[in-house]
Structure 1
Amino acid sequence: MPHTSQIKIPATYMRGGTSKGVFFRLQDLPEAARVPGPARDKLLLRVIGSPDPYGKQIDGMGGATSSTSKTVIVSKSTRADHDVDYLFGQVSIDKPFVDWSGNCGNLSSAVGSFSINAGLLAPERVPHNGMATVRIWQANIGKTIIAHVPVTDGEVQETGDFELDGVTFPAAEVQLEFMDPAADEEGAGGSMFPTGNLVDELEVPGLGSIRATMINAGIPTIFVNAADIGYTGTELQDAINGDPRALALFETIRAHGALRMGLIDDLGQAASRQHTPKVAFVAPPLDYTSSSGKRVAADEIDLLVRALSMGKLHHAMMGTAAVAIGTAAAVPGTLVNLAAGGGQPAAVRFGHPSGTLRVGAEAVDMNGEWSVTKAVMSRSARVLMEGWVRVPGDGF
């Protein structure tokens, strides 16, 4: 009986922040997959093990969650003042599509170290000891990210004592700067607040009119008050992900918010754009116990935030959503800002299901139009495995 041989493709499996993904150099992909299109999507789906009606991704590298169903393609940049181009693909678990509509802030923290290890940076850009500054062009959203990667004895330093809630073991700290993070999504008008308002009344079938802050920063995000939808902001994953009605409600909010933000032309398009926008709910600080059993006290945080990714409550916080949180918190009058106590904070520490995270942003009001020059946060990254990933030769 004839059979198809497998091909092997150089790849690196990395943790970045609270996510994991398969990283490729563009030049290592099969020729048909070096350009956007069906061949690339089919290849990445097969690598990750999707679509999987069982929802487990057993026959691939995915981990059956939105945080672990991710792919990254990196190449030397042709843009001035940038070292590498970084393209992120969010792979659906149970459906045959790859969403290219946004960035992954968590995996952004691994792009710098991957680029150094993969030989994509000029040697003179990497110190023997010190901090390598990697200038990353985020190709999905057309933005610059600056990664500060520690280097020891000429090699990327991955171990250290930096602790990140949502990650079991400490590692070396990687600081990220998201430059001019307001997203220029097609149809969003290029404005940080695409509706022109800091707070809108959003009509949601089955729920009525609720207040929402809709922002393009880091990633398009819809923020609502936890109390307006029957929550406290202290919920963990099971409270949301185990409730089909809750998930349907959040998807309805997301779809109607996407329409108001100009990201889709009709509600039916939301189903094929799962990665963006994100939907999150916020609340003033309360004591709660994180998913690891760690107690988080109200006086340790500025606000509570819970966010959904790919239709499920995230176990920690997406990095891009953290940028949106920091940016919105810095603008007086947004729901995020009000939950954090108002004012114009340069940084906030928020509570998420796995613990806490600090993110900073500088917002400026220029003639009634808010802008942010950059948002800053720290993550960590580590190579988990490197070598080749194998896929059937007829799989793409």
Structure 2
Amino acid sequence: MALREQARAWLEAQLGGEFAAARGLGGPGREHEGFELRRAWERALGKAGWTCLAWPEAYGGRAASLADQIAFHEEYARAGAPARVGHIGETLLGPTLLEHGTDAQRRRFLPPIQRGEELWCQGYSEPDAGSDLAAVRTRAELRGGEWVVHGQKVWTSLAHVADWIFVLCRTEPGSQRHRGLSYLLVPLDQPGVRVRPIVQLTGDSEFNEVFFDGARTDAELIVGAPGAGWRIAMATLGHERGVSTLGQQLGFQREYDRVVEAARRSGVLDDPVFRDALVRSWIELRLMRHRSPGSPTAKLYWSEWHRRLGELAQQAQGLDGLIAADGELNDLQRLYLFSRADTIYAGSSEIQRNLIAERVLGLPR
């Protein structure tokens, strides 16, 4: 049986049985939904061999072809499976360790990621170094076989539930910009770490501030050489928009369909101006499939489109969209509020336009 059929059968069995209540849970702006159930789902995926498909078999993967990876992510989205909680470890740290880590690091960290047992978060952005990543100030010093870390990270997705964090920090005193940075793997469950959730527009908290006050990690838990952190960090970002994002378009289609249905119920669909915007949105969604998921043009395109869809979602509800019934946001209200962040996180639209200008069009900085 081809991998697509295997995945479809397994997903149908699990989401129609033990994990039926997990169907459709989670995602941006909704990471609070059924988190423990979704963590159990992550372990079930790992046990059945449906995580880390591209990884070598030696680390629990399937060494799956690109076509098979795409097939799985399409079936996953079509099944309405819950949003993954282990995606940062699987799609960001794992490929980085496969490319730049030591054998000991790969043996220690890859199997628990594949099994869904350890969750990771990304320690990049800082209060004064968001889009300007080279301006990080968090520092680490090697003392007695350990790195001792001081500083602060911000907008750290899922740090409040993660076990580990990979941290870009300055390990050469007096260094500036891209020089003197290192890439450390740091456990979060220790006295020198404090995680403070950030309340979002939606009222939830999936982003966090992370404070390091003498946090420690073993000297061997540096990826690459000391001072080579910028190169490693860029390698991680290169994996950020990989094959898994292809299933994103199917999720967008479901959101679009909900917007149309809401507009039909409220009568807003009869408004020719709204209907024109809806048609434009549909055309843009169809064009999205022709963009490479790893390119800055793709991130700019989908984030701007999704933010506009959020605005349509709010309009589609009519006056009812202005009221949170019993104090709870509905799915379309949550879509509107959280989509405001789409053009900021994972590379703001302004930064994406700079990248396109410099790297694609060859314009000066």
Task: Report the TM-score when normalising by structure 1.
Answer: 0.30
Bigger fraction of residues in strand: 1
Structure of higher CA gyration radius? 2
Higher RCO (Cα < 8 Å, 6 or more apart): 1
Structure whose residues are more often helix by fraction? 2
Q: When the two structures are superposed, what TM-score results if normalisation uses the length of structure 2?
A: 0.32
